[in-house]
C-alpha cells in the first residue's frame, strides 16, 4: 500500500511542478494603471481631480483621469492579467486518475478469491507539445498586452480630441459674445442714424439680423459644449451632473518629423502591426503543434493488487507498473491538420502585410491632414486675421468720418468673425489630426519628443 501511495504522490508532484511554473518576464504595458479602481479607489476619479476640472479643464488632468478611471482601459487591463495566468495552465499535466476495482466471489467458483485492485495513472503529453502550448500561452498574453496598450492609447486620443473640441467651443463662444457686443453697438448706432437720415433702413435691418444670427450661433455652441462635456464625463466615469469649467488654451501641436520617418515609426511602433506580428508567431506555433500531433502521448501508472483466499483467509498482494502510449495511426486527419495550420500561417503573414499597408495609407492620409491643417491655421493667423482686423478698424473710422457706410463696417465685422471662427476650427482640427496620426504611429511626433530607435515589431521574421 505504501508503494501505491508513493506512486500517487509522485504523480501529483509531477503535475504540481508543472502548474507552479513561473511566468517568464513579459513585455511591460505602456502603463500598469491602478488595478481598475481609479484614483478614487472605487473606479472613479479622485475628488481632488473632480474639483480641479470643475474650476478649469486641462489636458493633463483629463489624461490622468482617463488612465485611472476609463472603463475600457480597466477591462483591457483585466483581460491582460487574465491572459498571463494561461501560461501555468498550459504547462500543467492532466490530473492523475485513481481507480479502484473490487472483484466479488464468483458464484460458479465459490473458492475464487476476493480481489481489490488500486490503480493510479498519469497522462503525459509529448514534451515538445507541452513546451509549444506554453509558447502559445505567452503569445496570447502578449496579444492581450498589446490590446491593453491600444486601450490606453485610444482613451488618451479620444480625451485629447474631446478636450480640443471643448477648447474650440469655448473660443468660439468668446468670439460670438464679442461679435454680439459689436453688432449690438452697430444696431444702436444704425437706429439713431436712421432717424437723422445718415443711414438707410436696410443697414439697420442687416445689423439686427447679424445680431440675431450671432445669438443663435452662441446658443448652438453652448448646446454642443454640453455634448462634449458628457463625452468627457463618460471617458472619466464622472457623474452626469459633474461640472466642467472652461477649457485651458491648448498647446499648438505640430509634427516636425519628415514623412519617411513617420512611416518608419509607424511600422516599428504601431500596436496594430505588432498584433499582426504576434498573430503570425502564434500561427507558426500552431503549425509546429500540428506537426507534433504525429508524436505519441504517454500514460504511466501503477497497480496494487490485494487478494484474500476464502479457504485459508490469507491476504496475497502484488504490484505492477504500467506504461501506455497512443498510436497515431489516423495519418490522413493529422496531415490535414498540418495543411490547415500551414495555410493559416500563410494567411497570418498576408494579414500582417495588409496591416502594414493599411498603416502606411492611414499615416499618409493623416500626415497630409496635419500639414494642410498647419498651413491653413498659419494662413488664418498670420495673414487673413490681421487683414480682417485692419479692415474692420478702417471701415469704422470711415463711417465715423462720414466717408463710408454702415454696411461696410457690418461686412468687415462679419468677415472678422468668420475668420476668427475658422482659425479656432483649424487649430482644433490640426490638434485632432496630430492625435490621430500619433494613434496610428503609436508614438509621439511632437518636436520635443525624442524618437529613440524603436524595438522591432514582433513577427517581422517568420517563425
Q: What confidence tier does 123 reach under pLDDT thresholds 50, 70, 90?
A: very high
pLDDT beyond 70 at 463: no
For residues 392 and 346, the answer to whether their CB atoms sit within 8 Å is no
- pLDDT of 237 reads 92
pLDDT in tens, 166-190: 999 999 999 999 999 999 988 887 7
pLDDT in tens, 182-216: 999 888 877 766 555 555 557 777 888 899 999 99
Please give the Cα distance from 341 to 347 (Å, whole number).
10
Strands (E), 212-334: 298-308, 315-325
pLDDT beyond 50 at 354: yes
For residues 204 and 407, the answer to whether their CB atoms sit within 8 Å is no
For residues 303 and 99, the answer to whether their CB atoms sit within 8 Å is no
Residue 434, number of CB atoms within 10 A of its CB: 26
Spatial strand order of the sheet with 114-124 comes to 97-103, 114-124, 298-308, 315-325
Tally of residues, the chain: 463
Q: How many CA atoms lie within 13 A of 161 on its CB side?
A: 17
- pLDDT of 111 reads 54
- pLDDT of 29 reads 72
- pLDDT of 32 reads 61
The SS3 call for residue 400 is: helix
Strand partners of residue 411: none
- pLDDT of 459 reads 47
- Range scoring the smallest mean pLDDT among 90-94, 314-318, 376-380, 438-442: 314-318
pTM higher than 0.85: no
In order of their start, the domains of the chain are 2-441 (1.20.1600.10)
Amino acid at each position: 500500500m505504501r508503494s501505491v501511495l508513493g506512486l500517487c504522490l509522485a504523480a501529483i508532484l509531477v503535475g504540481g511542478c508543472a502548474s507552479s511554473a513561473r511566468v517568464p518576464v513579459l513585455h511591460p504595458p505602456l502603463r500598469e494603471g491602478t488595478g481598475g479602481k481609479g484614483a478614487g479607489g472605487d473606479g472613479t476619479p479622485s475628488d481632488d481631480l473632480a474639483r480641479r476640472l470643475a474650476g478649469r479643464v486641462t489636458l493633463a488632468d483629463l489624461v490622468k483621469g482617463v488612465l485611472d478611471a476609463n472603463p475600457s482601459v480597466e477591462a483591457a487591463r483585466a483581460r491582460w492579467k487574465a491572459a498571463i495566468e494561461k501560461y501555468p495552465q498550459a504547462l500543467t499535466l492532466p490530473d492523475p486518475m485513481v481507480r479502484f476495482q473490487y472483484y466479488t466471489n464468483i458464484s460458479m467458483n465459490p473458492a475464487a478469491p476476493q480481489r481489490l485492485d488500486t490503480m493510479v495513472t498519469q497522462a503525459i503529453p509529448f514534451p515538445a507539445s507541452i513546451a509549444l502550448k506554453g509558447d502559445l500561452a505567452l503569445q496570447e498574453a502578449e496579444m492581450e498586452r498589446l490590446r491593453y496598450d491600444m486601450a490606453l492609447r485610444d482613451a488618451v486620443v479620444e480625451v485629447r480630441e474631446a478636450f480640443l473640441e471643448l477648447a474650440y467651443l469655448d473660443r468660439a463662444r468668446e468670439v460670438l459674445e464679442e461679435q454680439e457686443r459689436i453688432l449690438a453697438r452697430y444696431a444702436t448706432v444704425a437706429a439713431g442714424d436712421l432717424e437723422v437720415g445718415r443711414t438707410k433702413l436696410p443697414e439697420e435691418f442687416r445689423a439686427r439680423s447679424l445680431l440675431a444670427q450671432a445669438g443663435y450661433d452662441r446658443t448652438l455652441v453652448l448646446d454642443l459644449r454640453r455634448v462634449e462635456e458628457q463625452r468627457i464625463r463618460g471617458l472619466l466615469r464622472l457623474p452626469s451632473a459633474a461640472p466642467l469649467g472652461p477649457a485651458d488654451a491648448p498647446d499648438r501641436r505640430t509634427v516636425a518629423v519628415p514623412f519617411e520617418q513617420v512611416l518608419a515609426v509607424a511600422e516599428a511602433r504601431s500596436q496594430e502591426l505588432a498584433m499582426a506580428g504576434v498573430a503570425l508567431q502564434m500561427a507558426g506555433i500552431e503549425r509546429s503543434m500540428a506537426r507534433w500531433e504525429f508524436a505519441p502521448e504517454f500514460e504511466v501508472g501503477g497497480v496494487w493488487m490485494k487478494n484474500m483466499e476464502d479457504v485459508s483467509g490469507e491476504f496475497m498482494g502484488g504490484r505492477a507498473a504500467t506504461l501506455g502510449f497512443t498510436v497515431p495511426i489516423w495519418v490522413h486527419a493529422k496531415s490535414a491538420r498540418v495543411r490547415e495550420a500551414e495555410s493559416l500561417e500563410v494567411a497570418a503573414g498576408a494579414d500582417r502585410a495588409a496591416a502594414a499597408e493599411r498603416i502606411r495609407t492611414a499615416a499618409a492620409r493623416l500626415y497630409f491632414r496635419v500639414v494642410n491643417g498647419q498651413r491653413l491655421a498659419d494662413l488664418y493667423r498670420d495673414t487673413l486675421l490681421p487683414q480682417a482686423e485692419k479692415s474692420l478698424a478702417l471701415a469704422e473710422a470711415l463711417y465715423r468720418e462720414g466717408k463710408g457706410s454702415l454696411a461696410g463696417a457690418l461686412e468687415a465685422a462679419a468677415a472678422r468673425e468668420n475668420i476668427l471662427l475658422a482659425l479656432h476650427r483649424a487649430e482644433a482640427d490640426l490638434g485632432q489630426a496630430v492625435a490621430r496620426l500619433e494613434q496610428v504611429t503609436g508614438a509621439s511626433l511632437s518636436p520635443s519628443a525624442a524618437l529613440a530607435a524603436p524595438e522591432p515589431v514582433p513577427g517581422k521574421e517568420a517563425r
